Structure 1
Amino acid sequence: MSGSASYGEVTGPAGGGESPPPAGAPPQVIVVLTDQQRWDTTGVHGNPAGVTPEFDRLAREGTLFEQAITPNPVCAPARSALQTGRFPTATGVFRNGLPLPQDMPTLAGEFAAAGYTTGYIGKWHLAGEDGPDGPVPPARRGGYARWLASDRLEFTSDAYRTVVYDEDGEPVRLPGYRSDALIDAAIRFVADHHDRPYLLFLSLLEPHHQNPTDDYPAPTGFRERYESAWLPPDLAALGPGAPQGGAHRHLAGYLGQIKRVDEGVGRLRDALRSLGTEENTVLAWTADHGSHFRTRNSEYKRSAHEASVRVPLALTGPGFSGGGLVREPVGTVDLMPTLLAAAGLAVPDGVQGRSLLPLTGGGRDPGRSGSAFVQISEDRVGRAVRTSRWKYAVEAPGADAWNDPDADRYTETELYDLAADPYELDNLVGRDSHRAVADGLRDTLLGWLERIEDTEPVIERAPSRPAGQRRAESFPAEAPWDGVRFGHRPGG
């Protein structure tokens, strides 16, 4: 086993300080991806535990996308969308265990074609089920040239034993707590490449659970620090009956993992500052999906609920510094074209996401629908649409969730009023009082399905339920279903 990363010795300035990049220099680009991090773990989203001061600073200095939605709450599908800007059914990676197509334009491929050095560190999870958990053959690395990663890092590492594989497929043991070890490798990468344009994708495992033990191994002392620090309403209401204790057992370790990641990203940003490259570096921080801690189904994700599909997303650097708060729902499928646009590069044909740059600084993008689209796989074949106020989800009855990427018939399963019920504890599906709202959202979802999947499935109404004293009004089909601007309200 190799004793150090393959990036070589750390090289620094001889005189103790770097000159800033020349005016007009291409921006350097870093993506920090966490695994299974809920949106509401961050301070800027109101979390009181104080585990994300660095993310909060990045969001305040840059641009915070307040309502960011993953295209699929499963690891490999979400990651395929991040690398290609296409929804999972378009990449063919609609579930775990499927490889990223080798002939599809990727984030790394486009940056490499523009002369960028490309590097990947951490968890990949796109090699396919016929590959080993650890080494990834060069042809399956999505176009990344520099490589220090495992396909499924949760099976080749533990909290204090991080094993990844270099460009030659040789195992490398990295010292330290796992997220620290990977961030140390990222710091070595930026030091070695600070004088040229690069794309670095840093994919951390935390705060994902350790699969063999079903535990959240935080650094020593960090779990204890966050005992009883925070329990969101959905987990408080649904968690006590969850298998193996759910969030009540795991949340302190989960928060401790996030705190250590946040500290590590602070060290990475300090490295950029010391190298004189911070102002010319686009840095994005997001997650592949969230976690509902076994409160909605038998495991941690794979549902349409906010805890599964809503993730943190903030960017800083050229195009994003001072960009403010974007409240409109967006998808993380938009990140790939966003980073290309930020670097002045063309977006390849077939990309389904849209650049987020027009939304910064209070801008608008007339081409957006005002909603985000979600595909759900493995646990079920489902689809959902998320607007500023509403969540509407459907499921294909009897579908083979492992083998069927889509369906020709769905049934309504969920409708939530996120303004009145942000943690989705009151499912309004089938309520007569909300029939008009559901019909409008059904049309919105069908529009997404036609555009993204080129299908026109049947969506059957949920069985009718009495309204009681509720009432919600209908709106024109073309309305973007924005509750603030278009006045949705429950009746008295």
Structure 2
Amino acid sequence: MKRTSSIVMFLIICIGVLSSCKDTRTKETVVTKAKKPNIVFVLADQWRAQATGYNGDPNLVGKTPNLDKLAAEGVNFKNAISVTPVCTPFRAAFLTGQYPTTTGMIFNDLHLPDESVTLAELFKDAGYKTGYIGKWHLDGMGRFDYTPPERRQGFDYWKALECSHDYNNLIYYEGNNSEKKKWEGYGPYAETQDAISYIQKNAEEEDPFLMVLAWGAPHFPHASAPKEFQRQFNKEDIILRGNVADDMSEKAKEEAVGYYSHILALDRCIGDLEKAIQDAGISDNTIIVFTSDHGEMLGSHHIRPKQKQVPWAESVRIPFLLKYPALLGKKKIEVDAPINAPDILPTLLSLADLPVPEFIDGESMVDVIKNPGLKKDKATLVMNVSPFAGKSDEYRGVYTSRYAYVKTLDGPLFLFDNEKDTLQINNLINKPEYKELQKQMEVTLQKELEKIGDEFKPRQYYIDKWNYNLNAAGYIDYGKDAKPQGPSLNK
């Protein structure tokens, strides 16, 4: 008994001595060390991977200093892919880590089922504050209608709208207020300033935050870009990609002026965001991601400007930059292995040292970030389950770090060696000397489809499977008695 008392007394003395020692570390340093990383996820709309200065677009070299700096100090996934290059399918895949054929989110204007487990919900369960600013496009109840809290998939702070590209008259809903509000001036500028306010408010809080800033630009209309940037481009001086046909060039150059002008404006926003994070003293422990939901054809392969949804690289390849100084420092890392929309969620969870649920289709790319030589042979799916915009067929395909192979229901569509043929002009399909490669790519495609249980059937099969009601044009029909058009209707 005495021996126990002596031990207790000794411990009390030791604790007292330790307590009296002055801790020279600041409170901020202690909290930052223990705190999970903040996440600032910036999502653009219709920004193709080729349209970046750091990727060598001649119209942008030297004109996007903030994105170039982000690419120089972080991770550049050189082969990032939009699983289905239209808005709603990508956004659902990003938030859930699942493929469109898993969630049923196969075309635009669908309702992501309330029972879906999402990015915000998973991080919220781990103690994160969550915020969403900008374009949502996952509610399926009308593009200008109010999205109530129960349909926000775990995001608490809310200044968003389902979908609008009227950048100089951009409306939004705030919090639990169903009254329409309007961003002042050019919408992306105002949205970015609100994101900066969110960062400043939450930087010193004990809980980490996850904030998604989703711009509608550089999606058309392109002529609504800020005039100060439009003055930096002359239509005659625009350099188009070498796969744009002559009869498309005039219109493509006209659209490109505004497209690139939006990009310069958004590059300024990236700089403002980075400065705010730096000024708040949280840059080391903040993960910044910049990407887009899909690309833009701008006349390539004789496909009109403003078009996406098709499987060519201008449509499916997207920029993807990631910076996390606390883990990766500020060194330039280039990753050849492809990353797809369903891979984003497990990658963010892994970076935050959180478990990845088994229901997620995608895979974490953290090991590849740390060792860029890994998974160079990885293949990732592209799919158009239910075409709805322009002339396009159903397709399934795979992109690797080198090759692209796509087939329609009628058979193989194309096979390209993207290293030797960056413009995807020389189609290798059915060429005798590439017979074995084509066979290997078909086997690879089938393996990827088997993983997610997709048999690649006609679009009507999936429309019937998910019980969608479409109008004659193939779009969701919003009526006064409309109900969410989503897979949950099957339950």
- State the TM-score, normalized to the length of structure 2: 0.80
The verdict on how the C-alpha distance between 1:316 and 1:97 changes in structure 2, with shifts beyond 3 A counting, is: same
SS at match of 2:347: helix
Match of 1:482 in 2: none
Give 1:52 deviation, angstroms.
2.2
Corresponding position: 1:248 with 2:253: yes
SS at match of 2:50: helix
For the Cα contact (< 8 Å) 1:70–1:333, is it kept in 2? no
Structure 2 counterpart of 1:187, which letter? I
Corresponding position: 1:142 with 2:153: yes
Counterparts of 2:158 and 2:336, CA distance in 1? 36
For the Cα contact (< 8 Å) 2:144–2:164, is it kept in 1? yes
Match of 1:272 in 2: 277
Match of 2:320 in 1: 313
SS at match of 2:399: strand
Match of 1:188 in 2: 197
Match of 1:301 in 2: 308
Counterparts of 2:224 and 2:131, CA distance in 1? 27
Match of 1:100 in 2: 112
Structure 1 counterpart of 2:121, which letter? G
Counterparts of 2:244 and 2:368, CA distance in 1? 36
SS at match of 2:260: helix
Deviations 1:314-338 (A, max 9, x none): 1002434336111122213211111
Counterparts of 1:323 and 1:24, CA distance in 2? 26
Of the three residues 373, 384, 393, the one matched with 2:397 is 384
Deviations 1:377-417 (A, max 9, x none): 413211111122211111124xxxxxxxxxxxxx1111112
Deviations 1:224-243 (A, max 9, x none): 20225542424xx424323x
Counterparts of 1:438 and 1:391, CA distance in 2? 10
Structure 2 counterpart of 1:162, which letter? L
Match of 1:206 in 2: 217
SS at match of 2:115: coil
Structure 2 counterpart of 1:335, which letter? I
Give 1:18 deviation, angstroms.
10
**Greater mean alpha carbon deviation, residues 448-457 or residues 274-283:** 448-457
Within 5 Å, give how 1:332-371 maps onto structure 2.
332-363=341-372, 370-371=378-379
Structure 2 counterpart of 1:225, which letter? Q
- State the TM-score, normalized to the length of structure 1: 0.80
For the Cα contact (< 8 Å) 2:143–2:161, is it kept in 1? no
Within 5 Å, give how 1:165-176 maps onto structure 2.
165-168=173-176, 169-176=178-185
Counterparts of 2:265 and 2:406, CA distance in 1? 35
Corresponding position: 1:260 with 2:265: yes
Corresponding position: 1:238 with 2:244: yes
SS at match of 1:284: strand
Counterparts of 2:401 and 2:143, CA distance in 1? 41
SS at match of 1:285: strand
Corresponding position: 1:124 with 2:166: no
Structure 2: 5+ residue stretches without partners: 1-25, 459-491
Counterparts of 1:57 and 1:354, CA distance in 2? 27
Corresponding position: 1:220 with 2:227: yes
Match of 2:472 in 1: none
Counterparts of 1:451 and 1:271, CA distance in 2? 42
Match of 1:472 in 2: none
For the Cα contact (< 8 Å) 2:70–2:321, is it kept in 1? yes
Structure 2 counterpart of 1:418, which letter? N
Deviations 1:442-470 (A, max 9, x none): 00100111002343879xxxxxxxxxxxx
Give 1:176 deviation, angstroms.
2.4
Corresponding position: 1:35 with 2:42: no
Structure having the higher Rg: 2
The verdict on how the C-alpha distance between 1:436 and 1:216 changes in structure 2, with shifts beyond 3 A counting, is: farther
For the Cα contact (< 8 Å) 2:92–2:138, is it kept in 1? yes
Counterparts of 2:204 and 2:452, CA distance in 1? 40
Match of 1:51 in 2: 63
Structure 1 counterpart of 2:51, which letter? T
SS at match of 1:139: helix
For the Cα contact (< 8 Å) 2:44–2:216, is it kept in 1? yes
Counterparts of 1:23 and 1:230, CA distance in 2? 48
Deviations 1:270-328 (A, max 9, x none): 11111111111100000000000254445511111110000110100243433611112
**Greater mean alpha carbon deviation, residues 280-289 or residues 296-305:** 296-305
The verdict on how the C-alpha distance between 1:98 and 1:80 changes in structure 2, with shifts beyond 3 A counting, is: same
Counterparts of 2:134 and 2:451, CA distance in 1? 33
SS at match of 1:23: helix
Structure 1: 5+ residue stretches without partners: 1-16, 398-410, 459-492
Corresponding position: 1:444 with 2:444: yes
Give 1:431 deviation, angstroms.
2.1
RMSD of aligned residue pairs (Cα, Å): 2.2
